[in-house]
Structure formats: C-alpha cells, structure tokens
Amino acid sequence: MATSPIIFLSGYYGFANTGDEAILIVLLAEWRARVPDARFLVVSGNPEHTEAAHGVKAVLWSDPLAIAEAVQSADLVVIGGGGLFHDYSGFIPDALLTSGNWGVGFHVTPAILAALYRRPLMLHAVGVGPLYSGHARRYLHAACDAALAITVRDEPSRDLLADCGVSPDRVRVSSDPVFAWRPDPSIDTAAIFEKEGITQWQPDPRPRVCVAIRHWSLGTHPEYWQQEVARALDRFIDAEGGSVVFLPFQRLSGEKEDDSAVASRTLAKMRHSHDGRAMMLKGSYSPAEVAAIAGSCDLVLGMRLHSLIFSMVYGKPCVALSYDPKVAHAAAQAGLSDCCVELTSMTAEPLCEHLREALATRPLASAEVLGRLRAEAVRDVELAAGLIGQPPSPLSAEHLDMVRTATLALLRKQSRLEAQIAADTERHRDEIHYRDRLAREQAERIQGLTIQLRQLAAEKADLLSRLHFYTKDLSQRLKDYRSQRAWSIMLAIRKGYVMAFRSGFRGKMRFMRWLPGALIGRPGELESQELKFPGFDPGSSL
C-alpha cells in the first residue's frame, strides 16, 4: 500500500487487567514484526495510559463517535483477542451506538461499523460464551457475517458460534495470544520480593505458591469459596512448609475488577497471614513483571486464565480454579485437565491435595503442546495481516437492520435529551425570573430602608438640636434661679436683722413670729418684699 496501513484493535484494553494487557503486548509485537510500518488505533478504557505504555493511538471506549471515526479511517478492523463475547452482564440491543454500550453489544459494534464503512474485519482469537440472550446471539451472528476471518481460542467457542448459526467451516480454532508470550529475562523478581518485604520468609521461603484469584459470585457464594481457599492454603503450608503470595491481576475500583480486595479478604481468613508466611503484593507491576513473578514461584493456583498460561510458558505446575468454562478449556488444550478444580464444588481438603500433588508430580504442558499453541497464536496475526487491502464482506440486510435499530434508539435518546434540555431551559428561565424578582424586591427594600435611615438621621439631628437648646436654656434658668434665690435669702436675712435688732420690742415680736416659718421655707411677709429680676418669675416652671 502507498501509505502505512492503519490497524484498528478492539478488545478489553486499558482496564488495568494484566491478562488483556498481555494480549495487546503480544499482538502488537507480532504485528510489528510482520508489518513494521503499521499504525495502530486501539479502543481503551484509559487512552492516555494505553498510548504511553504501547506506543499507539487510542480512543476512549465510551466515545462511540470516536470509535466510528477510527473504524472509518482504518485499513483493517480487528476484534480480539480474549473472552469478549459473553452476556454475563446482559445485553441491550438498541444501545449499539450509545455511550452506555457494553458487553456483547460493545464488542460487536466495531464489526457492524466495519460492514457499514466497507472495511475488512477479523475476529481474532476470541472467546465465546456463555450467551443467554437471543438478541446477543443474533448480533454476534451478524458480526461473524461481517468478518473475512474468524478464529476462536477453543473448540467450545466454535461450537457456540455454530449454535448461533455461523458455519463451522468459517471458524478456525486457534489459541489464546498469550501462549506466544516471550519472557523477559532482565526482570529481577528477587528485587521485587525484597521491595515487598518478602525476604522475611527466610530461611524457609520454599515452596512458594503464587495465588491469582478474582471476584466471582455466580453459582457460588464469595464468602464461602474464599474461606475454603484460605483453609486449603493453610493446610498446604502446614504440610509442605513454604509460603504463599497473592498476586492481583486487576486493580480497579469496581468490585468485579478489584483482585486486591478479594485477595485481602482471603488472606485475612488464613492463619498463616499472622506469621508472615502468606502475603499479598501491594505494588503495581507491568504484565512482564507479573508474568515473571508467577514464573518465579514453584506452583500457581489460578482463577485468572492468564496466570495459568504464564505458569505454562515458564514451565511451572499449576492448579486451575475454574469459575468460567474458558479456564477448563485452556487447561484441556494444554493437556492439564486433571489439574482443574471447579470453583462451584470446591472445598478445602480436596483443593489442598490437588496443590500437594501438583507440587510433587509437577504436571506440565509438553514442549510440543506449547509449541503448537504458540504457533497457532502467531498464525492468527499472519492471517490478519493478509487481510489488509482485501475487499470486505458484503453489507447484509441484517447489518442495515441493526444500524436502523441503533439509529432509532439514538433519535429517541436525542429527543429525550432535547426535551430534557427544553425543560431545563424553562426551569432555568423561571429561576432567572424568580431571582430577578427577588433582586428587585430586595433593591426596593434597600431603597425604602435607605429613605427611613435618612429620615431617622434628620430626626436625630433635629432632636439633638432641640436637646442642645433645651440643655442650654435649662442651664441659664438654673443659673438665674440660683442667683434669685441667693438674693432672696440675703434680703430675708437683712430684713430679719432689721426686725430683730432695729425695730424695738414690736419688731422683735414680729421676728419671733416670722422665724419658724422661715426655718421651714415659708418666710411669710418678707416674700412680698423680695427684689425681682426683670422678666423672671420664680414661681414659673422650668
């Protein structure tokens, strides 16, 4: 091709799941080895991390417009690998092009878009099932119709596609891409264990058991099976010595995606968690580091499918806790069906015996089997590379019907959104009017209060002025009064003296009659003889 081909990859990438990130690492490595100039667009739960970790361009999984534009720009659309096509979480047929699309609906969307935009499509090493919904089966059948090539990682997946109406001749059984994993010998697992404080297990750290469990509640109760796993591990340490390390494969906030929470609960139920012989790795590690940690242990107890594949690749024995058919299928592919224990019927004693037997007999996938599984994984990429530039599968009436259903759903959603926006706008307008009315009323109240304050200030000033005048007038009146009273007293004394000492006997008699009254404030006839200040009436009120 004249320009570098653009490969669109859609899977469960960017969700901090070690197994799926390992799938992406393998696919990109194999692609780059065969088509060095290829450019990659990856659907991701965390586009920034995916771009930084893998050197690709990424689009957000919940942005259907970005996904549609990415498919339109691609030269090849690849869906996979991994166990993508199941409906544990249900299926909503008309959510195909919406931001709430998930599960089977999410993973078939790029296939329908590839058919619509006339792009070659491959379903690459996918796991299928379980499928409970007839709608899910129909949409998966349509995705298969749009594909030029279909590979699945186990025979039961091919059988389920056949049950959905897909011709078995169109489906090739391959293997999980991680069977093509290449260990990184430069990773120092001893340093990782030392950083985690696991050196305290000395001098008896072996055998070391790696435990990779996850949340599961279908067909069993989490509290019960976690208790049984804890009891089995305690029994194993009692019998064999050594230690246990819990290795989380996914750390997200949701209950279903937080392996560390499940490991912590199980660890808390173990007796040996108190003597340091059972611990959980708390650090965040790359898929290569997680693979090396699992490969450095003597035995792996895994619910996580890729913990078991890592143990096979590194040549270590394993015991599989099968919570989903894919786990048992992978064990069967590797010839290790005897090492598989069903989670729904598991109890502590048999699980402990499986662990001890696996440690003693070291059942391993043969080099021949592992070579075949690796070759199958690599062959899928070679098959996909050959599809670049090939004419796509024809657009079927079923594809158009699904696009029509999705379009009507989008129109209904748009109508609801527009109605909601209109209602919100009206409510917002009412709120604005209400706020404006309150503001006007408040301004009027403030204006009224301002006028009242001004009136009160004027009245206060007038009152202060009148009080000042009254105080001044009162002071003057008191001063005049006191002066008049002093003059009256002096005059009374003078006249009393005249009566007593200068008027003879008769004057003395008059003085004697006058004196008692003067003593009690009634000077009698002398009052009429007091001098008056002009304009002053001593009897007037103040």
Question: CA separation (Å) from 11 to 178, 402, 517?
Answer: 14, 21, 125
| Three-state secondary structure of 504-523 | HHHHHHHHHHHHHHHHCCCC
Per residue of the chain (542 residues), give pLDDT as tens: 458 999 999 999 999 999 999 999 999 999 999 999 999 999 999 999 999 999 999 999 999 999 999 999 999 999 999 999 999 888 888 888 887 788 899 999 999 999 999 999 999 999 999 999 999 999 999 999 999 999 999 999 999 999 999 999 999 999 999 999 999 999 999 999 989 987 655 556 789 999 999 999 999 999 999 999 999 999 999 999 999 999 999 999 888 899 999 999 999 999 999 988 999 999 999 999 999 999 999 999 999 999 999 999 999 999 999 999 999 999 999 999 999 999 999 999 999 999 999 999 999 999 999 999 999 999 999 999 999 999 999 888 888 888 888 888 777 877 888 888 888 888 888 888 888 888 888 888 888 888 988 898 888 888 888 888 888 888 887 777 667 766 666 767 767 667 666 666 777 777 677 667 766 666 555 444 444 444 445 444 43
| Cα–Cα nearest to 71, from 18, 32, 111, 107 | 111
Angle made by CA atoms 255, 211, 21, in degrees to the nearest 5: 65
| Cα–Cα nearest to 177, from 384, 20, 365, 10 | 20
Helix (H) or strand (E) holding 138: helix 134-146
**Are 530 and 488 contacting, i.e. CB atoms less than 8 angstroms apart?**
yes
- Contact residues for 395 (Cβ-Cβ < 8 A; gap 6+): 115, 116, 118
**Are 253 and 261 contacting, i.e. CB atoms less than 8 angstroms apart?**
no
Q: Which residues pair with 210 in a beta bridge?
A: 245, 300
Go through the domains of the chain in sequence order and give each one's CATH number.
6-174+377-395 (3.40.50.2000), 189-364 (3.40.50.2000), 409-529 (no CATH)
Which pLDDT score, from 0 to 100, does residue 527 have? 47
Q: How far is it, in rounded angstroms, from Cα 357 to Cα 218? A: 28
Which pLDDT score, from 0 to 100, does residue 448 have? 87
Which pLDDT score, from 0 to 100, does residue 487 have? 62
DSSP code string of 348-376: HHHHHHHHHHHHHH-----HHHHHHHHHH
Which pLDDT score, from 0 to 100, does residue 200 have? 58
Q: Are strands 6-10 and 208-212 parallel, antiparallel or unpaired?
A: unpaired
As a whole number of Å, the end-to-end CA separation of the chain is 119
**Could you give the strand order of the β-sheet that contains 318-322, starting from the edge strand earlier in sequence?**
278-280, 243-246, 208-212, 299-302, 318-322, 340-342
pTM metric for this prediction: 0.79
Tokens of 461: 């000033």
Q: How far is it, in rounded angstroms, from Cα 236 to Cα 243? A: 9
What SS3 class is residue 217?
coil
Q: How far is it, in rounded angstroms, from Cα 44 to Cα 467? A: 85
| Cα–Cα nearest to 266, from 256, 280, 284, 282 | 280
Which pLDDT score, from 0 to 100, does residue 423 have? 87
Which pLDDT score, from 0 to 100, does residue 521 have? 60
Burial label, 541 (beta-carbon count in 10 A; 0-12, 13-18, 19+): exposed
Which of the 8 DSSP states describes residue 345? G
Q: Are strands 76-85 and 6-10 parallel, antiparallel or unpaired?
A: parallel
Cis peptide before 207 (omega within 30 of 0): yes
